Amino acid sequence: MKKNIIILFLSLFCSAVCAAENITAKTDRDKAYIGDVIDVQITAQLPAGAYITADQSALFKDFDILSSQIKRVSFEPNEYVLNYKIAAYKTGKLNIESVGVYYEDAGGAGKAFFTPPLSVEIIPSLTADDKDIADIKPLSKLKISRENFFIMALLFFAVLVLFIYILVNLPKKKEIAVEAEVDPRSKALEDLEKLFTSGIKEKDIRLFYYAMSGILRTYVSKKYAFDAMEMTTSEFFEAMKKRLTSDVNLNEFKNYLRVFTLARYAGFKPKENEIENSFSYTKNLLELL
């Protein structure tokens, strides 16, 4: 009861201050996927002669602030726009709580106003009821624990084995090399089938998705003569958007790529049917491209 009274008091206080300074706030969307960048815009109309000080710090619970900007857009009326780019790494209806913004009036006296509260629904990228990936953190936030060190060592070992395999099986003559590259699609489909039956997905599902992404990107690099292996997920999507056939749905392709982004995180545990769907989609994509 006491907690509810305090929240009500703060809400009424915030509303009174916002009304005095004429503060409005909005987001660029009501729903977003985990990790998506959300734009928060706060417009503040202050008394004449007042200005917002530069040393502002904000903290939104459940959100990371990726960048912030404060800009005066007009003197009459005295209007400022505060832009925040934020991202969330848990699902559900999340509140963007009020934060205090400090300014000085025309006489140099310190003042403050509170931003109006907002909310955004954060949804997972795989399925709406997937609990295993409901709360994840971006790779930059992971500590180098024993588990993470083991995973990185395993990935390094897999890349090393792949490199040695390629080195050992490198064609000795130029003619053999030319013959081996005649049909990259068949090679990619063959590698995909071997990967699916190799048992890797039962041992390390993240390594399985990493290898499957590598097969697709290697084929695309040869097919369209650009280095897909060095691209981020968004760069790869933009590069492929104009090359996809009419048989490939653009939104389905975008959601398909999101799965490989999620596969980088330790909490990634897709269901069996989701693994088979990713494999089938990759195979169908190789056949269509």
The reply to whether 269 and 153 lie within a common domain is: yes
Q: Which pLDDT band, with edges at 50, 70 and 90, does 94 fall under?
A: very high
pLDDT at 36 over 70: yes
pLDDT: is 171 or 140 the higher one?
Answer: 171
Percent of the chain with pLDDT over 70: 80
pLDDT at 45 over 60: yes
Is residue 63 assigned to a domain? yes
pLDDT at 134 over 60: no
pLDDT at 85 over 60: yes
Report pLDDT digits (tens) over 149-176: 778 888 888 898 888 888 888 765 555 4
Is residue 128 assigned to a domain? no
Is residue 49 assigned to a domain? yes
Is residue 71 assigned to a domain? yes
Nearest residue to 114 via CA among 249, 3, 4, 12: 12
Report pLDDT digits (tens) over 172-182: 555 544 444 55
pLDDT of residue 12: 45
Alpha-helical segments (H) within the chain:
2-21, 146-168, 174-180, 184-197, 200-203, 205-224, 233-241, 250-262, 272-288
pLDDT of residue 126: 56
Mean pLDDT, rounded, for 193-221:
88
The reply to whether 163 and 280 lie within a common domain is: yes
The reply to whether 199 and 277 lie within a common domain is: yes
The reply to whether 147 and 113 lie within a common domain is: no
The reply to whether 178 and 227 lie within a common domain is: yes
Q: Model-level pTM greater than 0.85?
A: no
The reply to whether 151 and 114 lie within a common domain is: no
Question: Which two structure tokens, joined as six digits, stand for 15?
Answer: 């509303």
Percent of the chain with pLDDT over 90: 18
Q: How far apart are CA 206 and CA 200, in angstroms?
A: 9
The reply to whether 11 and 104 lie within a common domain is: yes
Question: Which two structure tokens, joined as six digits, stand for 96?
Answer: 């963007």
Report pLDDT digits (tens) over 105-123: 888 888 888 889 999 999 9
209 close to 266: Cβ distance less than 8 angstroms: no
The reply to whether 75 and 116 lie within a common domain is: yes
Quote the Cα angle for 132-211-196, to 5°.
80
Q: Which amino acid is at 172?
A: K
Q: How far apart are CA 152 and CA 205, in angstroms?
A: 14
Question: Which two structure tokens, joined as six digits, stand for 272?
Answer: 């069996």
pLDDT of residue 109: 84
261 close to 136: Cβ distance less than 8 angstroms: no
pLDDT: is 96 or 140 the higher one?
Answer: 96
The reply to whether 78 and 179 lie within a common domain is: no
Could you tell me the residue range of the domain that residue 243 belongs to? 140-288
Q: How many CA atoms lie within 13 A of 54 on its CB side?
A: 0
pLDDT at 130 over 60: no
The count of structural domains within the chain is 2
Q: Which pLDDT band, with edges at 50, 70 and 90, does 3 fall under?
A: very low
pLDDT at 144 over 60: no
Highest mean pLDDT out of 39-43, 138-142, 270-274: 39-43
Q: Which amino acid is at 266?
A: A
Please, what is the average pLDDT of the chain?
80
The region of weakest confidence among 8-12, 30-34, 141-145 is 8-12
Is residue 217 assigned to a domain? yes
Alpha-helical segments (H) within 72-183:
146-168, 174-180
pLDDT of residue 26: 94
Question: Residue 7 contacts by C-beta under 8 Å, 6 or more apart in sequence?
Answer: none
Is residue 129 assigned to a domain? no
85 close to 38: Cβ distance less than 8 angstroms: yes
- φ, ψ for residue 175, nearest 5 deg: -65, -40
Mean pLDDT, rounded, for 263-267:
73
Q: Is the dihedral of CA 89, 93, 257, 157 positive or negative?
A: positive
